[in-house]
Amino acid sequence: MQYMKEKKQLVVSAIKDGTVIDHIPAKLLFKVISILGLDHIQNQVTFGSNLESKKLGSKAIIKVSGIFFPKEDIDRIALVAPQAKINVIKDYSVVEKKTVEVPDTIEGIVKCVNPVCITNNEDVRTKFEVIDKDPVKLKCHYCEKITNQNNMVIISSS
Amino acid sequence: MHGKSLVSISDYSKEDYLKILDLASEFELQPKQNLLQGYVVATLFFEPSTRTRLSFESAVNQLGGRIIGFSGADSTSITKGETLRDTIKTVSNYCDLIVMRHPLEGSARFASEVASVPVINAGDGANQHPTQTLLDMYSIRKTQKSLDDLNIFLVGDLKYGRTVHSLLMAMSRFKSTFNFISPPELKMPEEYKIYLDSIGLKYYEHTDFTEIISRADIVYMTRVQKERFSDPIEYERVKNTYILRNDMLANTKETMKILHPLPRVNEITEDVDHNTKAYYFTQTRNGVFTRQAIITSILGIK
């Protein structure tokens, strides 16, 4: 219902089935698109940026048809835009609303900041323990070095 | 500990440390026993090391075990492009235990995950070197009869020194006081100080130790390397402050001991070597007993 009411004001058209990522800080829009690999999928993707938002001042929204993001992708969003809200749409209605949350462990989606870490030199899936969630601080399971929000590189979804 | 790899000093509990130290004292009394007969230990040293490798091999040999392995990756399949994963999986089939040194950080943890036998980390880059920490603790307990209520001086490069960080973390399970002596550029990182604060252990920071050395029970020296300084003039200015000379030991405690992970360059002058307070060479001897304790407990023999 909420979704239908909002629809009137939206500049980005509604989707039938898929996922809406809302409340993305406007400046992070293209980063979110890139980490989710939305720049090279065949599905219909619509987005809007610099939309008015009471909370964020200026927000962005992405709508992806026919895709329901797995946990890994939700974790990717949480690391980049923890304020984002995920709405799962089926037959034009919101069937599920999710807030994203940084999990306690992060696997395979972040690069370790340490150039001499084994994960940057051999084919080893990265793994981190989350030691702080805001701002995010990750401790590498292998080299034990800290990767933080400022030097975090996300491995894009393929 | 039986069957478990030793990668990081935090893999062991306080009880584990004490068990290893007790076992090491037993081996000191009787280092030659036939406990490892029929066992094969692989020492994989992807980068050269004299002390650590020979210490491990001596530990195994004195217990009747056999060694296979290499030192330096030049003569191995790594030059043909073999991955660490494949090397470790293969070597797992040849031995009961792997001792590994590798220049990449985190390589030992990774090896412990792909190996079908336990792995002992003998140094993974600048990350961890847990057997060094255990032999340091053994040396401290042996000379001071306790790991509590000591005044421990850590001197030199406290910013990058992997041995001082591991020793500090392990000793923080006991109740000692720490004095950090370093040039401002090489101070103990904040995270360690925050940790000590959180568990209520006392520490003090200094840039010089000539005046306070009389209070020390343990002086743990490390090398101040020129490459660590952004300003070479600053290095020239401070370099002599972190050199221990024999005349500085005059008013120190009778029981005080000087430790150093070695190799030494010039941070302890040679006139200190003859002082009874110099302990760094005995410390390397303790390394053999400590490694015998670690190996036999991991193999479930002790």
Q: Count CB atoms within 10 A of the CB of residue A124.
A: 23
Of B85, B103, B109, the CB nearest to A142: B109
B85/A142 Cβ within 8 A: no
ipTM of the complex: 0.90
pTM here is 0.89
Phi and psi dihedrals of B134, rounded to 5? -65, -35
Residue A6, pLDDT score: 52
Q: In a 3-state reduction of DSSP, which class is residue A34?
A: helix
Among B60, B31, B57, B52, residue whose Cα is nearest residue B298: B60
Of B85, B104, B110, the CB nearest to A116: B104
Q: How confident is the model at residue B24 (pLDDT cuts 50, 70, 90)?
A: very high
CB pairs under 8 A between A and B: 51
Among B34, B27, B44, B23, residue whose Cα is nearest residue B95: B44
Instruction: Specify which residues B151 forms β-bridges with.
Output: B177
Mean pLDDT of chain A: 90
Residue B162, pLDDT score: 87
Q: Read off the pLDDT of each residue in A29-43 and give the average, rounded to a whole number.
A: 93
Q: In a 3-state reduction of DSSP, which class is residue B134?
A: helix
Q: What residues 247-276 of chain B have any CB closer than 8 A to a CB of chain A?
A: none
Report the CATH architecture of B131-284. Answer: 3-Layer(aba) Sandwich (3.40)
Q: In a 3-state reduction of DSSP, which class is residue B96?
A: coil
- What are the tens digits of pLDDT across the range B173-200? 999 999 999 999 899 999 899 999 999 9
B31-128 and B131-284 agree in CATH topology: yes
Residues A59/A10, Cβ–Cβ less than 8 Å: no
A143, closest residue in chain B (CA to CA): B106
CATH of A2-99, one of 3.65.10.10, 3.40.50.720, 3.30.70.140, 3.40.50.300: 3.30.70.140
Residue A1, pLDDT score: 47
Q: Is the dihedral of CA A10, A13, A19, A25 positive or negative?
A: negative
Q: Read off the pLDDT of each residue in B165-169 and give the average, rounded to a whole number.
A: 95
Q: Which of A3-17, B82-96, B245-259 has the lowest mean pLDDT?
A: A3-17
Contact list, B190 vs chain A (CB under 8 Å): none
Residue A8, pLDDT score: 54
Mean pLDDT of chain B: 95
Scanning chain B, the segments in alpha helix (DSSP H) are 14-29, 51-62, 84-92, 107-114, 130-144, 162-171, 190-199, 232-238, 280-298
Residues A16/A65, Cβ–Cβ less than 8 Å: yes
CATH topology of domain A105-154: SH3 type barrels. (2.30.30)
Q: Cα–Cα distance between B15 and B17 in angstroms, integer?
A: 5
Pair type for strands A153-154 and A110-111: antiparallel
Domain spans of chain B, in order of start: 31-128, 131-284
Q: CB-based contact (8 Å) between B128 and chain A?
A: yes
Look up the CATH number of domain B31-128. Answer: 3.40.50.1370
Please report, rounded to a whole number, the percentage of residues in chain B having pLDDT higher than 70: 100
- What are the tens digits of pLDDT across the range B213-248? 999 999 999 998 888 888 889 888 888 889 999 999
Q: How far is CA B121 from the centre of its chain?
A: 11
- What are the tens digits of pLDDT across the range A106-152? 999 999 999 999 999 999 999 999 999 988 999 999 999 999 989 99
Q: Is residue B51 among the annotated active site residues?
A: yes
Tokens 């020194």 belong to: B161
Torsion of CA A84, A146, B182, B168, to 10 degrees: 120
The DSSP letter of residue B6 is B
